[in-house]
């Protein structure tokens, strides 16, 4: 059996909150009581202090370097989680000058295109419906497969997408990696298909920082921190600055847009119009430094190596390890499969726990097994999991 992680820890395959780099946790531990000689913890210091100002500005600067974020994009640390940004994306885009001018020219409400590839993109769609928007479902993977929530297994050909007319569309929204269903779109699939005049809004909560991305092709990117970037409580927004411009009728534009979701409000105040989630942002900054030290190309290579180990074992015994997702859309972050019976799945999870591997039970809506391989999971963790798979197969395959 492969070795256990150090310091009496477990191999944590949680889909989120997820494993953090060990060196980051150790630095947090060293600074927890007395941050850099200030005599206080980051959790205790004023967000208006010079010390904390350096923490949050440093976090942003590091992220800009890691992802090569263009200067015409704002980086915002928003409170809450990615779900809040479902509403924020819609409300902010429809408050922007460009979208409002486009809508006035059309003479009626613009629609917004939604690609539904699983639970989280469907959640974004439902939020817009609740807010009175006019969503156009470009495709629904479940409807394509015809089997409800468990049927999200891939994406139809681009030729079959029902994108709205550019002059009638405010934005296109999609989730690049579905943590529950294990569906991940190949890089640039959506931006290559959408007219450049239409902003693309992407939820990258669960694969942010795992590979290089061309930020300049997106209108906005949202990402909850608790997968690849830090602890829960903060959400990253990277938004093109022209989408933050408001027209002269600003009061009308922001009616119905709460301050806590207003990207302009946060942008003007450097992400601190009021007390931010200070500790979560501090940890994110350390993770960004760690990612910079590793190198984004190295993180991309490791992501592929970890996923290949597990998928090779699934593919070697497909009658036993039953993958759900079409190969072209299998996630490198959240790998999902079933065993022949629920009883075997329960036994697999129990044996994994005995081997110091936890958080492998599939989402409650799907069951099965889900192994999440985020940036901070060492290759040794994936190797340990594959060793468990091989041993379990030998003992239980008939």
Count the residues in the chain. 398
Report, in this order, helix, strand and coil percent for the chain, each rounded to 5: 45, 15, 40
User: Which residue among the candidates 11, 113, 120, 290 is catalytic per the annotation?
Assistant: 120
CB 102 within 8 A of CB 145: no
Tokens 């997968």 label which residue? 227
CB 313 within 8 A of CB 337: no
11 an active-site residue?
no
User: How far from 130 is each of 86, 125, 134, 171, 253, CA to CA, in Å?
Assistant: 11, 9, 10, 17, 18
120 an active-site residue?
yes
Element housing 323 (H / E): strand 322-323
User: Which residue among the candidates 113, 140, 203, 262 is catalytic per the annotation?
Assistant: 203
Please give the Cα distance from 168 to 109 (Å, whole number).
8
Query: Which residues, other chains included, contact 187 with Cβ-Cβ below 8 Å and sequence gap of 6+?
Result: 211, 213
249 an active-site residue?
no
Question: Number of C-alpha atoms within 13 angstroms, CB side, residue 125?
Answer: 18
User: Which residue among the candidates 11, 102, 122, 227 is catalytic per the annotation?
Assistant: 227
Active-site amino acid positions: 120, 203, 227
């Amino acid at each position: 059996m492969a070795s256990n992680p150090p310091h009496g820890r477990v191999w944590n395959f949680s889909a989120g909150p997820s494993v953090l780099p060990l060196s980051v946790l150790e630095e947090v531990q060293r600074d927890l009581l007395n941050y850099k000689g200030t005599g206080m913890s980051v959790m205790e210091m004023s967000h208006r202090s010079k010390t904390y100002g350096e923490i949050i500005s440093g976090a942003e600067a590091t992220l800009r370097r890691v992802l090569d974020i263009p200067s015409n994009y704002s980086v915002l640390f928003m409170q809450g989680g990615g779900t809040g940004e479902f509403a924020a994306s819609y409300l902010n885009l429809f408050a922007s000058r460009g979208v409002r001018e486009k809508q006035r020219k059309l003479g009626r409400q613009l629609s917004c295109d939604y690609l539904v590839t699983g639970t989280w993109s469907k959640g974004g769609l439902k939020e817009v419906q609740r807010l009175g928007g006019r969503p156009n479902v470009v495709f629904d993977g479940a409807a394509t497969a015809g089997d409800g929530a468990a049927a999200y297994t891939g994406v139809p050909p681009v030729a079959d997408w029902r994108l709205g007319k550019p002059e009638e569309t405010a934005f296109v929204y999609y989730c690049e990696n579905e943590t529950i269903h294990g569906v991940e779109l190949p890089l640039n699939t959506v931006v290559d298909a959408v007219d450049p005049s239409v902003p693309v809004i992407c939820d990258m909560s669960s694969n942010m920082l795992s590979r290089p991305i061309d930020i300049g092709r997106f209108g906005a990117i949202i990402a909850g921190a608790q997968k690849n970037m830090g602890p829960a409580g903060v959400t990253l927004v990277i938004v093109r600055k022209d989408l933050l411009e408001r027209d002269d009728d600003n009061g009308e534009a922001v009616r119905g847009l709460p301050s806590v979701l207003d990207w302009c409000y946060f942008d003007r105040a450097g992400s601190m119009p009021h007390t931010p989630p200070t500790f979560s942002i501090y940890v994110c900054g350390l993770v960004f430094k760690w990612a910079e030290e590793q190198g984004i190309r190295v993180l991309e290579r490791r992501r592929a190596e970890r996923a290949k180990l597990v998928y090779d074992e699934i593919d070697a015994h497909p009658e036993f390890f039953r993958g759900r997702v079409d190969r072209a859309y299998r996630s490198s972050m959240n790998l999902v499969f079933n065993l022949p019976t629920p009883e075997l799945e329960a036994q697999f999870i129990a044996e994994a726990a005995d081997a110091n591997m936890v958080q492998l039970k599939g989402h409650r809506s799907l069951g099965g097994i889900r192994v999440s391989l985020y940036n901070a999971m060492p290759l040794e963790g994936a190797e340990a999991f594959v060793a468990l798979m091989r041993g379990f197969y030998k003992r239980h395959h008939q």
